[in-house]
Structure 1
């Protein structure tokens, strides 16, 4: 049985030259997203509230960094346009339809959230903008600094709210740019030094203490970054409304890097394979949690033991959604391939070069440093060679 399971979960991971470090990061952050959404209804309890706060920086910021890491800053050519449409835009349409049908089933009325995405679907809209805007932003002299300033400033404009994920797109763009810069070698020296892992562990433990101390003071709505500075103005005043967001961005960057640094870089049986299905975890778990919320099951959770069981159930759900059977069934929705939708010119531009044989498990020439040439293997990651077409080894890709 162990041999069968090993072959099932490692065969495809070995058939394509992937970086196991980032698959492990993807699985960790995706699992924490499920945990966060699972315990969200329990935030009136001290334990779940603390866990929700302490894992915020390890969930969304890291997931955005991963997408930035696997994105190209090259020109938006025909092949990239097809990737974005197939791996981001179409899943957004499909899952919006599924969400509409589910709400109709649960609530008995039609609600179409195409322009006001709910749950995790806002991420796909933002991802399209980030991918298209990245080549232009990184052409500037200080791309990360400029995106941080934009993130802090956008809260003063009431026009940028939840519609079409406008506020979150600008507010979270710094994490996407940071992920791309990590791909270019940023923090490579730090990631390769052993003492930084002890520092990362210390910072994560320290954040747990801070989260416990401020758990009653922080408004959860501030962490979504989905609305202008309305409640922040009431608390901090107009001139200082940006302070909390600045602290949140700093927290997300520091702890996100700590998590990336601590995640094992070697191939881990089962976990590394499941990490390649990170987008399955992200897109599918709301379809499971929404009916459970309607049953009132979370309202009956009271004891500490039941809270722990809820967290363990969330971890198990994440693993199930990234498992081979689920991925096989849901692949047409999460990773659609619709060549008939595109013109012949686009289809010809999408034909990949045949990779040359390589030794061991290093990247092939066609894949370069970006991982597998097939974007469907990971969902909306839009992986292509980096700007200028240069190939490079992922920063700090050594084994632990």
Structure 2
């Protein structure tokens, strides 16, 4: 009996470059919808998936080129060093706000001066560094609204309600930020100004000049304009800094110099605590408000800028660069910043921070330890879970969908 089975016809698959029916290989780069889809095979079969042979097929299909998958980019790992710095700073913010009722004591006043010379300047510098890649786009604009404007309004209303519940007069002034809320508006305007600074040839000297000349004017706190100009140099310095600048601070001799710098700053704060004015530390007072002549005012602002930068770089040099137990806490400092005012304000209104024994070195230690523990709690992931719906509401409905051309 003769074998009636015939060999399948031999077909030569076309090269992907020739086009035609056999040209089913994916092109590079893949379009976005192909990249995000589960399968790139034109027949809906996932790459590598085997299917049963189809019936009534005269000849097997020509061998198809293996579809190409665009490799998923690895997720960018957060830098634990910056998160370490942020947690240290947010803990100092909580301590500084809690020390206010005890500033009649020299020990509290000295620590307050030491903290306020550098902690918000360094926060601003880091904000500038993290704004280097900012540009005006739909996504970036939406993020500004979600991250700054919406929390700003919510916190303003929330603190007004809290003060009213504690017996104070109802006061809600959206354009004039209350207490700690000034930073959100200032950071919003700093970030919006980023494209302007990046276009300049000498942004840092220009920012310092604006900072010095701003002292001639009595700038109000509306829209945080006083702090916007008062801390501007730190934001711009952070904006022009590169990773290698932070690496330079990791040298041994710089670390030794940083220890000396901070010890010297602490000694000076102790020496001047009894007679120093606190106004200049807020980086918003005009020369007239400080009762200074123009040349004395410029000298004071220049000296304060130099001291603040020296302490900022000293702290940056000494903070651990690797993973620590508080690195993860540093990823949620915004929650601590916006929420810590609630227990602090309640403690102030209830008189808990005015107990006589708190007005001394032991009181400073007790307040600092309690505030440090509070900062840890407010930076926990559980805190974010509880308050995310308030401070990070989903506002997809608020934005127009970008038109497809």
* Range of TM-score over shorter length: 0.7 to 0.9
Unaligned runs of 5+ in 1: 1-14, 349-400
Corresponding residue of 1:344: 401
Could you report, residue by residue, the CA deviation over 1:307-345 in whole angstroms, capped at 9, with x for unpaired residues?
A: 311111111111111112211111223333311111111
1:354-373 maps to which residues of 2 (within 5 A)? none
TM-score, structure 2 normalization: 0.77
TM-score, structure 1 normalization: 0.78
How many angstroms does 1:212 deviate by?
1.6
- Distance change in 2, residues 1:336/1:157 (3 Å): same
More displaced 10-residue stretch of structure 1: 285-294 or 299-308: 299-308
How many angstroms does 1:86 deviate by?
0.5
Q: Secondary structure at the match of 1:138?
A: helix
Matched, 1:62 2:122: yes
CA contact (8 A) 1:161 1:228 kept: no
Corresponding residue of 2:19: none
Corresponding residue of 1:88: 148
Could you report, residue by residue, the CA deviation over 1:81-107 in whole angstroms, capped at 9, with x for unpaired residues?
A: 011011111110110110111111112
CA contact (8 A) 1:87 1:336 kept: no
- Whole-angstrom distance in 2 between the partners of 1:164 and 1:227: 15
How many angstroms does 1:74 deviate by?
4.5
Corresponding residue of 2:321: 265
Corresponding residue of 1:280: 335
Corresponding residue of 1:196: 254
Q: Secondary structure at the match of 1:55?
A: helix
Corresponding residue of 2:181: 121
CA contact (8 A) 2:336 2:378 kept: yes
- Whole-angstrom distance in 2 between the partners of 1:226 and 1:288: 26
- Whole-angstrom distance in 1 between the partners of 2:192 and 2:320: 31
CA contact (8 A) 1:155 1:167 kept: no
RMSD, aligned α-carbons: 2.0
Larger RCO (CA within 8 A; separation ≥ 6):
1
- Whole-angstrom distance in 1 between the partners of 2:282 and 2:361: 26
- Whole-angstrom distance in 1 between the partners of 2:389 and 2:252: 42
Rg (Cα) greater in structure: 2
CA contact (8 A) 1:165 1:226 kept: no
Corresponding residue of 1:212: 270
Matched, 1:305 2:338: no
Q: Quick one: which of 13, 16, 29 aligns to 2:89?
A: 29
User: Paired residues, what number?
Assistant: 330
- Whole-angstrom distance in 2 between the partners of 1:282 and 1:254: 24
Bigger proportion of residues as helix = 1
CA contact (8 A) 1:162 1:227 kept: no
Could you report, residue by residue, the CA deviation over 1:359-400 in whole angstroms, capped at 9, with x for unpaired residues?
A: xxxxxxxxxxxxxxxxxxxxxxxxxxxxxxxxxxxxxxxxxx
Corresponding residue of 1:75: 135
- Whole-angstrom distance in 2 between the partners of 1:101 and 1:282: 18
Q: Secondary structure at the match of 1:277?
A: helix
- Whole-angstrom distance in 2 between the partners of 1:140 and 1:330: 40
Matched, 1:134 2:189: no
